[in-house]
Amino acid sequence: MDIEQIRKDTPGCHDKLFLNSAGSSLPPKTVNERIIEYLEEEERYGGYRLAEMKRAGIAGFYQEAALLLNTSSKNIAFTSSATESFARVLSAIPFNSGDVILTTDNDYVSSFLQFLSLKERFGVEIERIQHLENGDLDLEQAAKMMEQHQPKLVTLAHIPTSSGLVQDAEAIGKLCREHDCLFLLDACQSAGQLPLDVNQLNCDFLSATGRKFLRGPRGTGLLYVSDHALNQGLAPLFIDLRGATWTEPGKYELSRKARRFEQWEMPYALMMGLKEAIGYANQVGLENIARKNSALSNLLRKELAGLKGVQVYDRGSHKASIITFKKENLTIQDHVHMLQENNVFFSVTSRDSAIYDYTEKGVEQLVRLSPHYFNTEEEISDLAEIIEQI
């Protein structure tokens, strides 16, 4: 990995300690260049003509995303966020009263809100796979729950928003195949930091966002839809003329591709930005990114463990590049003040984003740091010194 070149390509990384790639990362400068180029051409030609002229470039978005996930272009949809991808999948599943959604304690807040909304409106039941003491999913219990509940949908956050836990998506995918359940993987925090192979993961759907570890623009997301799901005729409840063709007064035909999950109106300039970001990640290599991130986050956890009064809250036998911590006897405001004063960019995660997890950990708020491969070991050491002084 050519870290010097990577940092040269990242204008935002030089004048601060940027540790918020789990929030909204720093894009490579070519991402904005592609967006601006496209917008300037829209100014000259108008959006409709330009989209026709750029057909090959637009197809390139689907190819890059397919390469990222080891699938085909036809299985990729562009969306505006991970939440939109997720909601479109939920709307595609014909839930009836009593149907079970099987999830985990570490799923995203908006996912839980959507499950609760489905429960209120359609009587869907929500069940959760339990975890072991170290935070890993209890796979034996997961198998039993699939047997017992025959869930209509199994879904989990690969990496939650609120800690560095990596949930064993591959093992759950395998169980879903064995039990013939639909599997929706929320890869919002893993896309761009871990290699993802939808065939190995055995997922029917995978949702992701552009702005986090993929380093794309805000307002972008993507969705993978398997052939298994497409062949079942699953489609969002509110399709539009991109996803289907109105063939007769009372009939329509669904697109055979994942684009049935898209809407006709799209921000093509942003799509070009996301294509550039994914292309950049593909070129650096997801294995390389994962290795570097693992080194950075292990170093940060080790440094924090050596500091008096600091408690790190991440669990699991496999941890990602999200580090959550707090210093004893200090308020979160004390942490925020000190970190901001030292030009550290970070997030604070609150219990209302992680009701099950933070209740179990007995915390209201934690500081969340999320290094990415453009960060350096020196930055991690500088950060540890700042945290020591809080």
Ligand X SMILES: Cc1ncc(COP(=O)(O)O)c(C=O)c1O
User: Segment contacting ligand X (CB under 6 A): 95-103, 182-190, 254-262, 266-274?
Assistant: 182-190
For residue 191, give the DSSP letter: B
Residue 214 binding ligand X, by CB under 6 A: no
Q: What is the smallest separation between the CB atom of 85 and ligand X, expressed in angstroms?
A: 8
Q: Determine the 3-state secondary structure of 78 from DSSP.
A: strand
CB 23, min distance to ligand X, A: 7
Instruction: Using CB under 6 A, count the residues that bind ligand X.
Output: 13
**Amino acid identity, residue 29?**
K
User: Residues 60, 192, 217, 221: which binds ligand X (CB under 6 A)?
Assistant: 221
User: Which string of x and - marks every residue 46-85 that binds ligand X (by CB under 6 A)?
Assistant: -----------------------------------xxx--
Could you say which residues in the range 105-164 bind ligand X, by CB under 6 A?
A: 108, 110, 157, 160-161
Nearer to ligand X, 74 or 351 (CB): 351
Judged by CB under 6 A, does residue 316 bind ligand X?
no
Q: Which residues contact 220 (CB under 8 A, 6 or more apart)?
A: 78, 79, 80, 81, 209, 210, 211, 267, 270, 271, 273, 274
Q: Which residues ranging from 226 to 285 are in contact with ligand X (CB under 6 A)?
A: none
Comparison of 286 and 310: residue with beta carbon closer to ligand X:
286
To the nearest 5 percent, what fractions of the chain are helix, strand and coil? 45, 20, 35
How, if at all, do strands 153-157 and 182-186 pair? Answer: parallel
Question: Least distance from C-beta 208 to ligand X, angstroms?
Answer: 8
Asked whether position 103 contacts ligand X by CB under 6 A, the answer is: no
Q: Whose Cβ is closer to ligand X: residue 209's or residue 297's? A: 209
Query: Does residue 217 interact with ligand X by CB under 6 A?
Result: no
Beta bridge partners of 200: none
Is the CB of residue 234 less than 8 Å from the CB of residue 93? Answer: yes
Is residue 209 a contact point for ligand X (CB under 6 A)? yes
Assess contact for 311 and 358: CB atoms under 8 A.
Answer: no
| Contact status, residue 97 vs residue 87, Cβ threshold 8 Å | no
Give the residue with the Cβ less far from ligand X, 170 or 388.
170
**Nearest distance from C-beta of residue 103 to ligand X, angstroms:** 12
The reply on whether position 203 binds ligand X by CB under 6 A is: no
Q: Which residues contact 24 (CB under 8 A, 6 or more apart)?
A: 211, 212, 218
Tell me how far apart the alpha carbons of residues 77 and 61 are, in angstroms, rounded to a whole number: 10
Q: Give 105 or 303: the residue with its C-beta nearer to ligand X.
A: 105
Q: How far apart are CA 213 and CA 297, in angstroms?
A: 14
Q: What tokens were used for 148?
A: 């017992």
Nearer to ligand X, 62 or 108 (CB): 108
Minimum CB separation from ligand X for residue 52, in Å?
A: 29
CB nearer to ligand X: give 87 or 239: 87
Helix 286-305 vs helix 268-284: crossing angle, to nearest 10: 80
Least Cβ distance, residue 86 to ligand X (angstroms):
7
DSSP assignment of 118-155 equals HHHHH--EEEEE-B-TTS-B-HHHHHHHHHHH--SEEE
Q: Which is nearer to ligand X, 156 or 300 (CB)?
A: 156
Q: Which is nearer to ligand X, 192 or 255 (CB)?
A: 192
Instruction: Rank residues 20 and 71 by Cβ distance to ligand X and give the closer one.
Output: 20
Structure tokens at 106: 């570490």
**Of 67, 39, 72, 65, nearest to 54 (Cα)?**
39
Give CA–CA dist 381/303, Å, rounded: 8
Give the pair of three-digit tokens for residue 71.
Answer: 């699938």
216 binds ligand X (CB under 6 A): no
Find the shortest distance in angstroms from Cβ 294 to ligand X.
Answer: 19
- Residues interacting with ligand X, by CB under 6 A? 81-83, 108, 110, 157, 160-161, 186, 188-189, 209, 221
